[in-house]
Amino acid sequence: MSPVIALVDDDRNILTSVSIALQAEGFLTRVYTDGQAALRAFADNPPDLGVFDIKMPQMDGMELLRRVREMGGEVGGMPVIFLTSKDDELDEALGLAMGADDYIAKPFSQRLLIARIRALLRRQDLARGTATASEPGAEEPPLIERGRLVMDSARHKVRWDGKDVTLTVTEFLILEALAQRPGVVKSRNQLLDIAYQDDVYVDDRTIDSHIKRIRRKFRGVDPEFDAIETLYGVGYRFGEE
């Protein structure tokens, strides 16, 4: 059966355009203009994944996520992507701390959102031990091991010096690109192409923000982390051997 995606946003234009794009990709969609209506519907018929806008009247996305997680069971464990205000790191940090699986800043690319939805659903299948039937006998990509870094692309898992580091899909893609070829410099534009594919209107400074968050997360498990090196005016490289 096709995965069911719940879209919760008070902007009807976003609901309509994203719903059409998802349906074109083979997903089923349910749309809600407020968190209370969505919550009532989830209790009776849980979706496979939710996309919640944070800033909504009556019940905002943060409160909706809190109540969803409190419900437990199939509803409480569903993956959630937050739509945040552009460059609002407070929203991003709060959302991830409350149990969101990923976030994407408005204005956003529908292609990027669809890619993240697919990645989260695949991660959910792997976590449940139910790899997608559409890939029978598919070989998993090998682990990337670079010094103290271990990346498992199939399971979207990262460990540094034996400790788990939780990255969003975009952060994972950026780090993976750097770690695949230690010492090789990747420009901001190259990293944008990898993380956002053919999406347009993405500021190259977005990469700087992602690198900043990646470093912060690794320094949470290792205050001395310095494996991602900045070459000013050129780009970034992974220096751990």
Q: Where residue 237 falls among pLDDT bands split at 50, 70, 90?
A: very high
| Predicted local distance difference test score (pLDDT) of residue 28 | 96
Per the prediction, the chain carries an average pLDDT of 84
Tens of pLDDT, residues 128-145: 554 444 454 556 778 999
Helix H, strand E, coil C: the string for 150-182 is: EEECCCCEEEECCEECCCCHHHHHHHHHHHCCC
Domains contained in the chain, CATH given: 4-127 (3.40.50.2300), 144-238 (1.10.10.10)
Q: What pTM value is reported for the model?
A: 0.64
Upstream peptide bond of 107 is cis (omega within 30 degrees of 0) = yes
Least trusted range by pLDDT, from 1-10, 62-71, 131-140, 191-200? 131-140
Tens of pLDDT, residues 172-192: 889 999 999 999 999 998 888
